[in-house]
Structure 1
């Protein structure tokens, strides 16, 4: 046998190997390539949709505040048991973390917040909140339902998942920094990325909104007690008036944005609480004020905090008063929500495949805050809005309104997007690993 025969055999072997590698890659990519349309169609099936609606209405009737979500957590665990999904509980008091897939790396997380708000519901309907003074006025009941819907979708295709999807049911988003406590409890150990969503009443149903980079502001809260000396309102000279001092404090705090901040560096300082006095003719001993401050950068945030303290103590002193300030630093400081650029491209591709590229709205940064940002400080994360506006339903009220309503037609979209974002991300990671391994071999 001559050299030409050996050369021919080597070439044939290489061609066969290339064919096998190509075939293997094709099979891998086809395992979950139709997820977008398949998942959405599955979520829209009448029996699946009705199941999700039932869950959401049970949650809406029984709202629970931060770190009190015991019934909510029980419902979540009951549904996961029915689906055959393994989970850990409790995490961060009432949190639940489920697992679907191989149980091995890589890991990707999808998250829902589960707490309600201290708001009295004003919407009269069959499934109105049964708990006086408490309401799911921010759509977290829908978020929980959509994550359970994603679990149902993914469980149907568990054998095809190229890794593990971590389901994060997180308590205390509304001012309790539940995400921070979930991290401290190890909920995201070894997780490569995390996705989260929020219903939005001003984006059309079937559309989404987000952006790469800074998306939502970092936020903090503060409360100040300004103390003087009370007395008769007809004899102010014998008193030290804390109401006058507090008024000067509030006016001066507004200058921190209008006269100290770069106009291109978005910041907010708002006083939303003013309590003091109980009679028309009595100057009180003290006044309590409180509010929030927000910015997109840590530097601006730290500067605002320092100046708020200086202004309150300084202006109180000018009026002969004392001031004590509480910034609630344990739970109330939320970082800015900053979306990872690579995950943004992944998000656009998944949504484009499912809904069409024209359904992706590039939204402006907003001054609202979201404790999903704690996850993004540790691992790449992506947060987006999912629309539920429908002209046939009339105008939907804004978040945190006692008249807030959820358009339940949004549930299949959220469930399918959660499932598709997670499963396709794992598939992409596995393909990248195979490519890297292939490049590591020496060619003959």
Structure 2
């Protein structure tokens, strides 16, 4: 081959190789890794990923499987097994058991900093009255508070985080917690070391009083501390026709209940929200017999430990004193605090700014709202005793359809709008990712040019 021919051959070969290198990523139909990172590392990109059928429909299937097989606190054996199987399929390592049935999974470097995301797993002792294809198969048990959706959303967040595991500058812990409904599962997880060395933790709850696509929270107290009491008021039984020969505990208990209402209306600061509710009154069994004793019980709630302690002390004083006025005796008990007392849920001010910034980038400013405190309680509050910064928020799921979401949690008619699942999954993932990057000082990652609040 002569020189000009050899030169021509080399030129053609080089051109061919160049064309192949340019055409390869285009012909594959997939964006480059840099383009994929830029598209999906921003909060809005994570939401787009969560709404893709591969993720969204999978979360719906997971949620329905959990809903069909509800389990009460510390009995979440099948739910925990489902969670572990899904984590195995994603290649995510985990520890089990934690707090009897709980699961603690890890995504990222395995090194600090550590940020945690939490979902509760337990159902309620309620008979479901909603007729649909995936109705509870267990008589007397139902996911009537959305915990089935919370588990599905945290698994969705796990899937998104696992896809970005190499970019995480630290470790995200995924806490699948048992026994939130009065069982103190969060406290048990803390005792078992689930949040050791964790710098911040995020929790969430779906709600029907916010439109779908919106989220809400606030800095400071967002849910009350709660406790439960029970009192036995004893008198002397007798015939209802001759009450002068009896000591009527029903009349005494009635006076006690009325007096308890004065603790909030007459003794509490009107600007310091408190609640005392008597929800149990048991005694007697016949229309013409005055019983020997009756039992009353209820709940008390407040937003500060000081107010809570004051209420507890005065509840006992009022019950004993008012019973004695009616010549009765009273014994008051407060349920085992380790299981039933929840401290107030208080949001870290710095994490509130972090939440607003990330959520606004994902959903738009108009869809991130402030929320008034509510008197409901959450055992997520226990994490504030072990983690430097805690934050809890609400994910809207109402679409305005007639009859949809008109029933509050703990109702046998409670329903979940499954279109809300991608929002919780994506925001949980984005909050953790951004937190780790900002802890490492790379707060410009997927930034939209907004001013960054300090953590």
User: What TM-score comes out, normalization by structure 2 length?
Assistant: 0.87
Q: CA deviation at 1:359?
A: 0.6
- State the match for 1:345 in structure 2: 353
Asked if the contact 2:434–2:443 (Cα under 8 Å) also holds between the matched residues in 1, the reply is no
CA–CA distance in 1 between the matches of 2:118 and 2:39? 21
Q: How does 1:202-281 map to 2 (within 5 A)?
A: 202-281=209-288
**What value does the CA root-mean-square deviation take over the aligned residues?**
1.6
TM-score (norm 1): 0.89
Partner of 1:414: 424
Instruction: Report if the CA contact (8 A) 1:31-1:160 is conserved.
Output: no
From 401, 414, 418, give the equivalent of 1:392: 401
Aligned partners of 2:49 and 2:185: how far apart in 1? Answer: 32
Mapping of 1:13-28 within 5 angstroms? none
| Structure-2 separation of matches of 1:35 and 1:93 | 37
1:345-395 CA-to-partner distances (Å, cap 9, x unmatched) read 100011011001111111111111111111123321100000000023644
Q: How far, CA to CA, are the matches of 1:141 and 1:395 in structure 2? A: 18
- Deviation at residue 178 of structure 1 after TM alignment: 0.9
Give the C-alpha shift of residue 34 in structure 1. Answer: 3.1
SS at match of 1:334: coil
1:32–1:427 Cα contact (<8 Å) kept: no
User: Deviation of residue 48 (structure 1)?
Assistant: 1.5
User: Counterparts of 1:196 and 1:235 in 2: how far apart (Å)?
Assistant: 58
Instruction: Name 1:170's counterpart in structure 2.
Output: 177
- Specify which of 347, 363, 366 is matched with residue 371 of structure 2: 363
Note the C-alpha offset of 1:35.
3.1
Gaps of 5+ in 1: 1-26, 435-444
Higher radius of gyration, 1 or 2: 2
Give the secondary-structure state (helix, strand or coil) at the position aligned to 2:410: coil
Aligned-partner Cα distance in 2 for 1:275–1:215:
33
Once the two structures are superposed, what CA deviation does each residue of 1:232-290 show, in whole Å capped at 9, x if it has no partner? 11121222211111101100000000111111111100011111111111111211111
Residue 354 in 1 paired to residue 333 in 2?
Answer: no
Conservation of the 8 A alpha-carbon contact between 1:110 and 1:147: yes
Match among 323, 329, 339 for residue 331 of structure 1: 339
Distance 1:156 1:33, change over 3 A: closer
The CA deviation at 1:217 is: 0.8
Mapped to 1, the partners of 2:408 and 2:347 lie a distance apart of: 23
Whether the 8 Å CA contact 1:32–1:424 is kept in 2: the answer is no
Q: In 2, distance between residues paired with 1:326 and 1:146?
A: 39
1:426 to 427, 432, 436: 436
How many residues align structurally? 406
Q: Which residue of 2 aligns with 1:373?
A: 381
Q: Which of 130, 139, 143 is residue 136 of structure 1 equivalent to?
A: 143
Deviation at 1:212, TM superposition (A): 0.6
Contact 1:33 1:424 in 2 (8 A): no
